[in-house]
Amino acid sequence: MVLGKRIGKQSIKLDSKPKIISAYSVVGPKEGEGPLSEYFDLILKDDLNGQKSYEKAESSILYKAITECIKKAKIQETDINYLLAGDLLNQISSSNFAARDLDIPFIGLYGACSTMTESLSLGAMIMEGGFANYLLAATSSHFSSAERQFRYPLEYGSQRHPTAHWTVTGAGAMILGKTGNYPYISYVTTGKVKDYGITDVNNMGASMAPAAIDTIKQHFQDTGRGPGDYDLIATGDLGKYGKDITSKLLKEYGYDIEKKYIDCGDEIYGSSQETNAGGSGCGCSAVVDCGYIYKNMLSGKLKRVLILSTGALLSTTSSLQGETIPGIAHAVAIEYGG
């Protein structure tokens, strides 16, 4: 018997209220020097994590986040029915190789930087359907592995644009369970791909903003909620400038989220860290969600949060072929004691 129901056009109400029973975040040294450092579970001293390549490092960081998250939940690896994970690397190799060393049935996902809420929403639906007792959603990103795949070799002398983002080195993992007194997922809204014609690969924030705007608008329309129903609305990595665009254009739809609105990419680095528009990457929203947001919910500071990871769905060849950059954003509403 399937609980819960579809509401509106793109949302699901989760009657079984899947609980986030544990969350773990690992970050690199630069993130560990940022304003949210106290909320991360582990700050690495070396972003190679003792590995021989950046890709291997990213996979090891993801593996660490997953295994520590399982320890924190006081369950066994074999108790978990599904691992949902993805990352930015070609063929999601970071997740594949992390999953190779785990004894958990694995579903790999690609949503670019939207993977955290993508995996959480799918996970919530799997739980709601009664198909799992425990489910783990995780994702990672790494500055150096993303640079060498999407942009330039590390030692190349290029000048970063004012709207450029800095890929976060980090991994986040969350475990969903059926029982216990924990923050739970109440609604998920699955986003559509939105492309408003941005071609500039140095302006990721603007390319993802349309998707964020559309998903937030749809979430409010489907659920009948408004900005006032949430203590915090957090997008993944629109950065300083994408956040501004999102805020302004949502007002056109009649929603003023400005007072409740943060963007993980905008928050994760301090202004002295010279990251221009802010952080990006799957790890960005993951570590902020698993660290800052989850811990503030546990402590009661935040009671109802809407998180949206945002992804830019370009490939290393699409821009060269003149394609514009499509974006996607998935929303997950988390509540605790509210």
Partner 1 sequence: MQVKENKIKEKFHKVTDESSPKSKLAKNCVYAFIVGGLICDIGQFFYNLLISNGVSMEDTSTWVTIIMIFIGALLTGIGIYDKIANFAGAGTVVPITGFANSIVAPAIEFKKEGYILGVGAKMFTIAGPVLVYGIGSSIILGVIYYFISR
Partner 2 sequence: MDYLMAFIVGGLICVIGQILMDKTSFTPARIVVCFVTLGVILGALNIYGTIVKVGKAGATVPLPGFGYSLAKATIKEVDSKGIIGAFTGGIKGTAGGIGAAILFGYIMALIFNPKTKE
Region 162-181 residues binding partner 1, contact defined as CB under 8 A = 162-163
The whole-angstrom separation of Cα 250 and Cα 216 is: 8
CB 2 within 8 A of CB 131: no
271 binds partner 2 (CB under 8 A): no
The answer for residues whose C-beta is within 8 angstroms of residue 311's C-beta and 6 or more apart is 111, 112, 113, 114, 115, 118, 208, 211, 236, 282, 327, 328, 329
- By beta-carbon proximity to partner 1, the closer residue of 82 and 241 is 241
For residues 154 and 149, what is the distance between their CA atoms, to the nearest angstrom? Answer: 11
Q: Which of the residues 114 through 143 are near partner 2 (CB under 8 A)?
A: 143
Residue 197 touching partner 1 (CB under 8 A): yes
* Binding segment (CB under 8 A) for partner 2, from list 75-83, 152-160, 230-238, 282-290: 152-160
Question: Of 265-284, which residues contact partner 1 (CB under 8 A)?
Answer: none
Helix ranges, 165-311 (H): 204-223, 239-252, 264-268, 282-288, 294-298
d(CA 302, CA 320): 43
Residue in 45, 50, 74, 158 binding partner 1, rule: CB under 8 A: 158
Chosen residue from 41, 47, 55, 237 binding partner 2 by CB under 8 A: 47
Q: Using CA atoms, how far apart are residues 26 and 43, in angstroms rounded to an integer?
A: 6
Stretch that binds partner 1, among 65-73, 133-141, 229-237, 248-256 (CB under 8 A): 248-256
Q: 60 vs 203, which CB is nearer to partner 1?
A: 203
Of partner 1, partner 2, none, which one does residue 248 interact with (CB within 5 to 8 Å by kind)? partner 1
Q: If binding is defined by CB under 8 A, does position 235 make contact with partner 2?
A: no
Q: Crossing angle for the helix pair 143-150 and 54-72, nearest 10 degrees?
A: 140
Q: How far is CA 90 from the centre of its chain?
A: 18
Closer to partner 1 by Cβ: residue 47 or 214: 214
Residue from 50, 74, 156, 259 in contact with partner 1 (CB under 8 A): 156
Q: Which of 6, 22, 1, 2 is nearest to 187 (CA)?
A: 6
Amino acid at 47: D
Query: Which does residue 45 touch among partner 2, partner 1, none (CB within 5 to 8 A, set by kind)?
Result: none
Strands 42-43 and 82-87: unpaired
Binding to partner 1 by residue 90, rule CB under 8 A?
A: no
What distance in Å separates the CA atoms of residue 25 and residue 17, rounded to the nearest whole number? 23
Q: Which of 2, 3, 154, 193 binds partner 1 (CB under 8 A)?
A: 154
CB of 330 to partner 2, least distance (A): 30
Site string for partner 2, 13-42 (x = CB under 8 A): -----------------x------------
Q: In whole angstroms, give the CA distance from residue 320 to residue 335.
A: 43
Q: Site residues (CB under 8 A) for partner 1?
A: 52-53, 148, 152-160, 162-163, 196-198, 203, 206, 209-210, 213-214, 241, 244-245, 248-249, 252-253
